[in-house]
Amino acid sequence: MDIRFSAEEIAFRDELRGWLKEVLPTLGDPPDSDDWTARRKWDTGWQRMLYDAGYAGINWPSEFGARGSTPTEHLIFLEETTRMGAPYVGMNFVGQLHAGPTLILEATPEQRARHLPAMLKGEEVWCQGFSEPNAGSDLASLSTRAIRDGDHYVVTGQKIWTSFGHVADYCELLVRTDQEAPKHRGITWLICPMDLPGIEVRPITTVAGSSEFCEVFFDEVRIPVENRVGDENDGWRVAMVTFSFERGTAFISELLGTMNQLAEMVDIARNTSRNGSSAWDDDEIRREIGRLQAEYDALWALTKRVVSQAQRTGMPGPGGSVFKLYYADVKKRMADLAHRMLEREALVLAEGSGDEQTGGDMVASRLYVLSLSIAAGTSEIQRNIIGERILGLPKER
């Protein structure tokens, strides 16, 4: 075990920091959260800047136009961009982290040439059409059907939780092409252009009042057969193979952003009066901040362990499910602590991005964290994965 960075890794970090210091001040203010045109321009503009500087697709193999960096360099990249306040991957998420890797592994040369450079340059925004109203944790039971008609699949059904569906150009779409086969063996993976006739996108308003999620309705949408990735009825494997790209880096920006918030909580505590003194002088509050810091530090150490395992073996260790399960819980406790400090002020949601000193963004955060134990595999599913795949306990079914 060696937590020291090599001279090469430090040089990579220094070069990146130099670049960030140069470009971040030129970005201006981020757009309003409900101005989707401006948000698309902001997110894809940042992607283009990454591309021009040679940082786009940092987790992709170098033959596809990116740097081919090691998992440790990817960790450094995410650490520096988060700490220095660079834009988040935003609506480039599906293209960069899911659809892109899937195409690299499974698509034809034509499909790759058509989409991968455009994804890297921020010219294509992708969304994910996996979950359905009746296929959530049990994703493989999805029922959106595709019927072959000559050179086309005719798709009818409904997808849900499609982030940025109303802004995206393409959708990675899972459809059922065989009704009779066992549920995992009748699924096909399609590239679906979002401007085809018969697609209707309806934004969903979340408990936080935001609307990046969408429902997507397909009514006899004709998708060319040449848009299929992998074989017909082999889509479940295609979708799952993407996870082999995972290097334990998925939550780095999220975790480090949370650690920044905890540092802000110290300021909030100092500026919140409590019993004639400040909340910082309240032993219970100060100690809970100390404990949360200990837990975030441990999760950062766990991340470094999983990334190191990925670097050694090409596959991350089992820490990913542990991380997600544990992190969702700790982050909820942090939001609850903010509310104990804020008392009546915890009723007030800040305008826009929020005022750190009054803790307004902490109030919004308390709503946002409700999704952490649900999205990308609920905490209950994570516990099943840990119990069955890691501990070897018997499957329920």
Partner 1 sequence: MDFELSEDQVALCDGIRDLCQGRFDIDTVRGLADCGGVDRQLWSELADTGVFSLVVPEDEGGVGLGWAEAGLVFEQLGRALVPGPLVGTLLAAEVIDDAVVGFMERPYGPALVEYPEVIDALLVLDRNGVWRVDASELSVEAAQSVDPLTPVGRVDLLPQGEQLMDFCYGWANRAVFLNSALQVGLATGARELAVAYAQERQQFGKPIGQFQAIKHKCADMYSREEVARAALYYAGCVMDVTHGPGLPADPGGYLYFEGCTIELGDTLGDREHQELVRAVSGARILAAEAADHNGKDCVQVHGGMGFTWEIDAHLYLKRAWALTPQFGSLDRHADRIANLVGADPLGHAAPLG
Q: Which residues bind partner 1 (CB under 8 A)?
A: 1-7, 9-10, 13-14, 72, 75, 83, 262-263, 266-267, 270, 280, 283, 286-291, 293-295, 297-299, 301-302, 304-305, 307-309, 311-312, 317, 319, 322, 325-326, 380, 382-384, 386-388, 390-396
Beta-ladder partners of 203: 214
In the annotation, is 246 catalytic?
yes
Closest CB to partner 1 among residues 4, 344: 4
76 within 8 A of 13, measured Cβ to Cβ: yes
Closer of 2 and 151 to partner 1 (Cβ): 2
Q: Least distance (Å) from partner 1 to the CB of residue 311? A: 7
A 10 A CB-CB count for 62 gives 10
Of residues 230 and 319, the one with the C-beta less far from partner 1: 319
- What would the two tokens of residue 99 be? 């659809």
Residue 142 near residue 150 (C-beta atoms within 8 A): no
Closest separation between CB of residue 60 and partner 1, Å?
A: 21
Closest to 231 in 3D by CA, of 168, 156, 161, 181: 181
Nearer to partner 1, 196 or 315 (CB): 315
User: Measured from the CB of residue 299, what is the shortest distance to partner 1 in angstroms?
Assistant: 7
> Least distance from C-beta 346 to partner 1, angstroms?
21
Nearest approach in angstroms of CB 78 to partner 1 is 13
Q: Which residue has the tokens 């409590």?
A: 274
Q: What is the DSSP string of 204-217?
A: ---TTS----EEEE
Q: Which of 105, 137, 122, 153 is nearest to 55 (CA)?
A: 122
Residue of 123, 246, 264, 356 marked catalytic:
246
Q: Which is nearer to partner 1, 217 or 326 (CB)?
A: 326
CB 211 within 8 A of CB 203: yes
**What distance in Å separates the CA atoms of residue 185 and residue 236, rounded to the nearest whole number?**
7
Active-site positions?
Answer: 246
